[in-house]
Structure 1
Amino acid sequence: MRDLENDSRFFLHELDVVSDDSKKNCVANVIEKFGRIDILVNNAEVQCVGPLAELPWSAMEQTFNTNVLGAPRMIQAVVPHMAARKKGKIVNTGSISVAMPTPWAAVYGASKATILSLTDTLRLELRHFGIHVTVVAPGAIKSNIANSAVANCSTAEWNLYEPFEDIIKERAYLSQTPKSTPADVFARDTLAVLLKNNPPAWFTTGQFSTIMAIIYHMPNWFKDFVARRIMKG
């Protein structure tokens, strides 16, 4: 972050996607400084790990408010500007994990599945205005999301699922392995796709992305079998 602050090519601005005031302030300042918005990347997200039957309601609300509603907030803020120019690109970040839902990640998976559906509809609605809409479904990308997920759920008390407490925490780090794709590599690959004149409606990249895309087309009994094996380590 400090490197970006000292780089004249970047204009850093604080943005809270769950705040209407923060959204309006950010978009207004960007347009004032640069005169236009070419690309919107909806990448804000939080992880939520735990058994659905016992997850704190506040954790579920935070996940959906950030992962799902954050994107439409930003979309509604920039679309009038893009539509007036008949030009623009919107990128929504999903997750390849929706190809095979696993235990302890129901809320996160549901939020990303919603993003996929939302993007498919938005792509059709905005085509008339010359706005391209793309969804990127990352595989395992190195980030701090697992540490944040464990911290957010550290106060949760599992009753029915107390014997699974260690396994639940392990699920948070499923995407964080020594072979996970570095964030800068993911960013470079994503940018290369987005800068095309006609970006694809969907693309995926990162560790596990190919195998997960294949598993998506498998029958449910096979997906359940694989998920159980993964959870047992």
Structure 2
Amino acid sequence: METFNKQVVLVTGCSSGGIGNALCRAFAAKNCLVVATARSISSMPDLSDDHDIYFLQELDVLSDHSVQEVVSNVMDRFGRIDVVVNNAGVQCIGPLAEIPLSTIEHTFNTNVYGSMRLIQAVVPHMVSRKKGKIVNIGSVTALAPGPWSGVYTASKAALHALTDTLRLELKPFGIDVINIVPGSVKTNLGNTAVASYNKMPEWIMYKKFEGAIKERAYFSQGPKAIPPDEFANKTVAEVLKEDPPSWFSLGQYSTLMAIMYHMPIFCKDFIHKKAMMKC
């Protein structure tokens, strides 16, 4: 396979219907060789038709062995990894005081430690080439945390902070680190969030808020959420620039959340209570 003039891009969390899947197709449209990963290859059927563009790999970001194996497979096949996109993540909806601690740990293990596990695996290769890009998919919710999504928001806020540090620490080695901050993008996130929510225990203290809590799972999937292909195409165009931005945000609520970030706390609290704490 001819790879000399094509960038090799590894993307996590590429199941059909999600942002990662759309990003794979957008990178492929820009003449990249795409390593599409998910916990199961069967979850990426739309990427399996063209093996000259897509190299499909099963990857569990919670497993050191799985991460090291995939990175080794990609290096053996292509000799390098130019871009890594940490997109794999899980939602977690519910009141912080009642969410099982094991669920909180799983969310952080996936959204934060999973990203760092892959970063630590690929950075030595990028350092040896003095070149590379690491792209972390954050969330606008981290700019203005509200009720019912505190675990997910905190995990993305942690990833934002790690991204800021990595950008400074890896720049001397020629590695760009980019924080992609999606607003509302029309994906299957609402369905997966509800599926996860349905595994939660019955709320005791927050029983009267159950309707509002469940509604939060679909909050990002409203009629004004942008199509995933639009998000992916614009994001990939930014990532592939010779001098990519450190921060790129797109999607419904991205401007609102940026404004709320600078608001006094009492203003943010008022907006969140009005929107999300109906009982």
Residue 6 of structure 1: aligned partner: 49
> What CA distance in whole angstroms lies between the structure 2 residues aligned with 1:36 and 1:188?
24
**8 Å Cα contact 1:100-1:227 kept in structure 2:** no
> What CA distance in whole angstroms lies between the structure 2 residues aligned with 1:174 and 1:102?
12
> What CA distance in whole angstroms lies between the structure 1 residues aligned with 2:257 and 2:190?
20
Matched, 1:114 2:158: yes
Unaligned runs of 5+ in 1: none
Q: 1:143: Cα distance to partner?
A: 1.7
Q: Secondary structure at the match of 2:59?
A: coil
Matched, 1:222 2:222: no
Q: 1:232: Cα distance to partner?
A: 4.9
> What CA distance in whole angstroms lies between the structure 1 residues aligned with 2:45 and 2:154?
34
TM-score of the pair, normalised by structure 2: 0.81
Matched, 1:49 2:49: no
> What CA distance in whole angstroms lies between the structure 2 residues aligned with 1:183 and 1:232?
29
Unaligned runs of 5+ in 2: 1-43
> What CA distance in whole angstroms lies between the structure 1 residues aligned with 2:149 and 2:277?
15
Deviation per CA, 1:167-201: give whole Å up to 9, x if none.
11001111011221111111111100001111111
**8 Å Cα contact 1:83-1:131 kept in structure 2:** yes
Residue 38 of structure 1: aligned partner: 82
Residue 199 of structure 1: aligned partner: 244
Of the three residues 94, 98, 105, the one matched with 2:149 is: 105
> What CA distance in whole angstroms lies between the structure 1 residues aligned with 2:163 and 2:121?
16
Of the three residues 208, 213, 226, the one matched with 1:181 is: 226
Deviation per CA, 1:7-36: give whole Å up to 9, x if none.
231111111100111101111111111111
> What CA distance in whole angstroms lies between the structure 1 residues aligned with 2:185 and 2:108?
21
RMSD value over aligned CA atoms? 1.1
> What CA distance in whole angstroms lies between the structure 1 residues aligned with 2:64 and 2:230?
32
**8 Å Cα contact 2:197-2:214 kept in structure 1:** no
> What CA distance in whole angstroms lies between the structure 2 residues aligned with 1:108 and 1:186?
21
Letter in 2 for 1:48: C
Letter in 2 for 1:121: T
Q: Secondary structure at the match of 2:244?
A: coil
Letter in 1 for 2:102: S
Q: Secondary structure at the match of 1:140?
A: coil
Matched, 1:231 2:276: yes
Letter in 1 for 2:197: C
Q: 1:77: Cα distance to partner?
A: 0.4
Letter in 2 for 1:223: K
Residue 186 of structure 2: aligned partner: 142
Superposed structure 1 runs of 4+ greater than 2 Å apart: none
Matched, 1:66 2:145: no
> What CA distance in whole angstroms lies between the structure 2 residues aligned with 1:87 and 1:9?
22
User: Which structure ranks higher in relative contact order (CA pairs < 8 Å, sequence separation ≥ 6)?
Assistant: 1
Q: Secondary structure at the match of 1:142?
A: coil
Matched, 1:75 2:105: no
Matched, 1:209 2:275: no
TM-score of the pair, normalised by structure 1: 0.97
Q: 1:91: Cα distance to partner?
A: 0.6
Of the three residues 11, 16, 26, the one matched with 2:70 is: 26
Q: Secondary structure at the match of 2:123?
A: helix
Identity across matched positions, percent: 58
Q: 1:158: Cα distance to partner?
A: 0.5
Residue 168 of structure 2: aligned partner: 124
**8 Å Cα contact 2:182-2:249 kept in structure 1:** yes
Deviation per CA, 1:63-109: give whole Å up to 9, x if none.
00000101110000000000000000001111011121111111111
Deviation per CA, 1:133-170: give whole Å up to 9, x if none.
01011000112222222222323120001111111100
Q: Secondary structure at the match of 1:134?
A: strand
